[in-house]
Every structure is written in C-alpha cells, then in structure tokens.
Amino acid sequence: MNVAVEKDIAKVGVQNSSEWDVLIVGAGFAGLYMLHKCQQRGYRVRLFEAGDGIGGTWYWNRYPGARVDVESMEYSYTFDAELEQKWSWSERYAAQPELQRYVNFCADYFDLWPNIQLNTKVTDAVYNEATGSWRIGTENGVNTTAKHCVMATGFLSSGQIPNFDGVDSYQGETYLTSKWPKEKVDFTGKTVSIIGTGSSAVQAIPLIAKEAEHLTVFQRTPPYSIPLRNEPLNKEFEKLVKSMYPEWRERQRWQSRAGFIAVNNEPTYPNDKSAIEVSEKERLADYEMRWRSGGLCYYSSFVDLLQNQEANDTLAEFVREKTRQRINDPELAELLLPRGYPIMAKRLCADTGYYETYNRDNVSLVSTKSDPIEKITARGIVVAGREYVSDVIIFATGFDAVTGAISRISVTGRGDRDLNDHWEGAPRAYLGLISTGFPNLFFLDGPCANGALVSPMLLSEHQVEWVDRCIAHSGLEEGASVEPRPESEDEWMVHMHEVGKDSLLHKANSWYMGANIPGKPRALLSYLGGLENYRQQTEAGESDNYRKLVVSKVA
C-alpha cells in the first residue's frame, strides 16, 4: 500500500480487521470507476478480474465486427472533464479494439493498475455477521476478506452455448462470440455455420461472409435491425460536443430517456408524443429522420412505442418495409423479416450491411423457427433431417443476461442465506443496488435497475457514485453494516413491476425477460422507469438519510 493511502486511512480512523475496505469484482467500465472512487477516498481497495486484461464485455467480445452501438461521443466516461477533452474517438461508433484502448488509457490516466488483480475469478462470497465483512474465494485459491464487496460483473458477461444434442461430438472448430480468441481467426476457404441472429451475429455475419467459402446462418427469430451508419467521426460533431460537454452530459442524464441524445449529429430531446395521436405524415417524418441517422435512436422516438401495440406496429411495419428493400430475393426477405413480436421488445440490432450480405452467393439462411436444430454431429448441424456440414461452428447464442454472472458466484448472506435462493423466481434488490440479508454487498448494472434499457455507462456511473456515498455513510469499522429494510426491497419490487407491467417487453422471448435461457424463470429483470426516474428514485433514497436502509454503525 502506498504511503498516501495509509495516511488517508489513518485520517479517517479506520479500525477494520478485513484485508480490504472494498473488494470489487470485474474490470469493466463500472468496476474501474468504482475503483477510482475508492482510491480517491484512500480506501484499501482491490479489484479482482477473471480475464488477463481489463474492459469486461469489451475485453471478451472480440468477434469480427464487434462494436458499440451507442455513439462513441456518448459512450465514454462522463465524470472527468479533462479526460473528455483529452480522448478522441476515430469512428462514430467505436470498434472493440478502440474501446479496449480507451479503457486501458483510463486505467493509466487514473493510475488504477496497482489495485487491479487480473486472472482472478471470484467463485464465492460469504458474509461474516460478527465482523460485518465478506470472505471472498477465487478459482486460483486466493481467499481474502473485505468490508464491502461490489459486484461489477456486467449484465452481458455470462455467455451461453445451448445444450444442443451432440454438441460435444462436433469435430470442427468452434467459437463463442462472447469469448473470442485474441488471435485472428481465418475463415478463408472454410465452410462456416453461425447459430443466432442477435446483435453479435448481425455484426459478425457481414465480415465472416466476406472471408468464408460459404456461410450458413441458423436463424430462430428474425431480429429487427437498423443500419448503424458508422463512419469516421465527424470532426465538426466532435467539436460541437466537446464545446458543450457539461450541458450535453446533463441532458444525457436527465433529458434523454435512454441516456443518449445525438441524432443526425445534433443534440435532441426524446419525442414525448404518441405515435398514434400524430398524423401519419408526422409519424413517418420522425421515423425517416431516425432511419437517416441510423442506430438506436428509435428508443427516443414516440413515447408509447413500447407501451401500445398499435403504436409499435407502425414502427415495426416501417422497419419491415425498409428492410425488404435491402434484400434482393423476395422469398428470402420474407424469412428474414421480423414478425410476431413488437419491435424493441427484444434489443434492437444495428448493423452494417447485414441484410445485403444475404444477397451474396456464398451465404445461405436456415430458418429454425418451426424446425429447431435437432442435433450437432461430428460434421455439422442437423435441421429437419438435413445435415449442414461445416468446418467451423460459431455460437452467437447470447448470454445468461443480467443475473447470470452474479448467480454463478456462490453468495451466502446473513443467516447462511444463498443469494440464488433469495432471487428464486425473480431477482430482488432495492434500487437494483443491494439486497436484504446481504449487507455491504452492492451490484452495479445488476438486476432491478435499468441497465438493459439505458446506456450502461451513464447508469453505472450514477450507481458507482451512489454506492460510494453509501459506503462512506455506513463506515468501514468492524461490525458496521448496511442493507435494505425488507419492506424497502418489497416496495421497490412493487414499483418496478408496476412501472413495467404494461410494457410490450412481456410479449417477446428476450434476455430482458430471462426467456432466452431454458429453465430460467420468466421475469422482468430490469427497471423500465427510464434513466431520469431511476436517478430521482435513487437520489430520494439518499436525501432522506437512507431511511430505507438499515445502517448499523459502530459507535
């Protein structure tokens, strides 16, 4: 520990028998900012990261075409004005390698490396009621104790390969998009199969198709996908944003609905009108304007798109019509067009040449909607009795999202209660930050907050700052603890379900609902109240002196 840190701890008079004041799990954007805050406070802090590099999701997801679909100028840390001015993005939407450069730059900039421990996968955490601290175990046998533990494990970090019959018998090469090798994978001259057509596949397919001898796509549910319109970062736009970053960020935080405001290189406000109450002309003008901008800006279109089926249908039909024009073969287009579930009820995809890829001679589509994948053999994939032989299978099959990464750690709270038991049926956490019976254990971008539906950068920064103040409030002394009153957790869950009950999200089998994982209980995993409302609710939780929490301080 450095002398300055020791001095600071001496200053606040910490008497803590734990090895660490705060142990953070996960070196994504959320965990790294948490580490920065703890360092600023002079805490004894450690961050454990399973990978051998930092970046979390952006460390693991290195498949061809991996790129963020929130604009780079908005998908970056917002808490440090100097950093904002210093860093320049090269593209409108940063690709994975640039995101990794950014995250490493930030770790250097804030001098985070001394407290990051790589290659350290946390397996279990057990609360000690006598000391009010956590014992944390890891895969490589390192055990440690910490007064507070912050799970910054990510909501799209637990990749899943479905348990296809015969999956282990396959003799070719296999890849999972969310755990892609660091070395370049060369598909030249190979026949490749890819299972899945979510965001990851939609990004990877156009690039793999250019290289492979033949690419076969196995599609279960056609996605809704909007052209991303990526390009080198417009320098005028960069200048504009950098000249008004404080105001821009405030609008992202408080006046954006989902955390981003750029549309067609301009700052905008979300559209607060109903899609069915405006004239068709006005409606189509909004949809056209967003189509020109590209990407995810439909999330800030008409206010009722995710609440009202009729409103939603207008956008779904608009997108289908636009999509139809991108595919040469009308029969194939019918197979690729999304139907039967509301647009945005599964996460919208944003693509670069996805549909046009199906116009190539070396790409074919196998629909597994009515004929699911039967099995995987030593040579390939079997659908409807036909074997599709291939040299490579890529699983772009998604994540055990939101709860998966936390659930894979064995977490034992007060009274030997297992967190997975507490979350049985559906996860529960006050403000999505802390669960009753699990004192001093915080979740960033976890369930019951709105991580899945807003720009994660903004949400996690806000949560980190909340957790930072909460830890400071409850203290680091032995025996001190903080957890929600049972009724506070109940109240939040009632509020979350009230806010989400009429959402069209319930009408699709998405990872938002846990419905992409066989056996996972179907439940709304995220708070749908919007970013501003979430910020208000969490701030209210503090301004009444944490009345909804039980804070046991040590005199």
Q: Which of 26, 196, 380, 413 binds ligand NA7 (CB under 6 A)?
A: 196
**Token pair for 529:** 């109240």
Using alpha carbons, select from 20, 57, 52 the residue that is nearest to residue 153.
Answer: 57
Minimal distance, residue 209 CB to ligand NA7, in Å: 17
Binding flag, residue 162, ligand NA7 (CB under 6 A) = yes
Minimal distance, residue 506 CB to ligand NA7, in Å: 15
Binding flag, residue 368, ligand NA7 (CB under 6 A) = yes
Binding flag, residue 172, ligand NA7 (CB under 6 A) = no
Q: For ligand NA7, which is the closer residue by CB, 120 or 352?
A: 352
- What residue type is assigned to position 455 of the chain? S
**CA–CA dist 539, 325 (Å, integer):** 47
Binding flag, residue 221, ligand NA7 (CB under 6 A) = yes
Q: For ligand NA7, which is the closer residue by CB, 44 or 62?
A: 62
Q: For ligand NA7, which is the closer residue by CB, 145 or 390?
A: 390
Minimal distance, residue 61 CB to ligand NA7, in Å: 8
Q: For ligand NA7, which is the closer residue by CB, 43 or 341?
A: 341
Q: Which stretch binds ligand NA7 (CB under 6 A): 8-16, 143-151, 198-206, 431-439?
A: 198-206
Q: For ligand NA7, which is the closer residue by CB, 315 or 393?
A: 393
Q: Which of 511, 513, 528, 548 binds ligand NA7 (CB under 6 A)?
A: 511
Using alpha carbons, select from 298, 220, 311 the residue that is nearest to residue 504.
Answer: 311
Q: For ligand NA7, which is the closer residue by CB, 159 or 427?
A: 159
Q: Which of 153, 200, 403, 526 binds ligand NA7 (CB under 6 A)?
A: 200
Half-sphere exposure of 210 toward its Cβ, with a 13 Å CA cutoff?
Answer: 10
Binding flag, residue 373, ligand NA7 (CB under 6 A) = yes
Binding flag, residue 357, ligand NA7 (CB under 6 A) = no
Q: Which of 50, 136, 201, 531 binds ligand NA7 (CB under 6 A)?
A: 201
The residue count for binding ligand NA7 (CB under 6 A) is 22
Using alpha carbons, select from 295, 360, 399, 352 the residue that is nearest to residue 65.
Answer: 352
Q: For ligand NA7, which is the closer residue by CB, 204 or 315?
A: 204
Q: Which stretch binds ligand NA7 (CB under 6 A): 6-14, 141-149, 498-506, 509-517?
A: 509-517
105 CB neighbour count, 10 Å cutoff: 13
**CA–CA dist 349, 360 (Å, integer):** 21
Distances (CA, A) of 89 to 61, 84, 133, 539: 19, 10, 41, 32
Q: For ligand NA7, which is the closer residue by CB, 220 or 326?
A: 220
Q: Which stretch binds ligand NA7 (CB under 6 A): 189-197, 207-215, 477-485, 519-527?
A: 189-197
Binding flag, residue 28, ligand NA7 (CB under 6 A) = no
Q: Considering only residues 232-271, where is the footprint of ligand NA7 by CB under 6 A? A: none
> Checking phi first, is residue 474 left (phi over 0); if not, alpha (psi -120 to 50) or beta?
alpha
Q: Which stretch binds ligand NA7 (CB under 6 A): 298-306, 413-421, 508-516, 530-538?
A: 508-516
Burial bucket for residue 168 (CB in 10 Å: 0-12, 13-18, 19+): exposed
**CA–CA dist 88, 75 (Å, integer):** 12
Binding flag, residue 96, ligand NA7 (CB under 6 A) = no
**H helix runs in 77-198, sequence order:** 81-86, 96-109
Q: Considering only residues 383-412, where is the footprint of ligand NA7 by CB under 6 A? A: 396-399
Say if CB 79 and CB 33 are below 8 A apart. yes
Q: For ligand NA7, which is the closer residue by CB, 127 or 511?
A: 511
Q: Which of 92, 214, 220, 548 binds ligand NA7 (CB under 6 A)?
A: 220
Minimal distance, residue 389 CB to ligand NA7, in Å: 18
- What residue type is assigned to position 321 of the chain? E
285 CB neighbour count, 10 Å cutoff: 12
Cα dihedral: 303, 304, 305, 310 (round 10): -150
Distances (CA, A) of 120 to 24, 26, 46, 116, 142: 11, 10, 11, 10, 8
Burial bucket for residue 316 (CB in 10 Å: 0-12, 13-18, 19+): buried
Q: Which of 138, 153, 390, 516 binds ligand NA7 (CB under 6 A)?
A: 516
Binding flag, residue 338, ligand NA7 (CB under 6 A) = no
**Nearest-CB residue to ligand NA7?**
198
Distances (CA, A) of 317 to 145, 291, 313, 314, 546: 55, 13, 6, 5, 47
List contacts with ligand NA7 (CB under 6 A). Answer: 156, 162, 177, 195-201, 220-221, 347, 368, 373, 396-399, 509, 511, 516
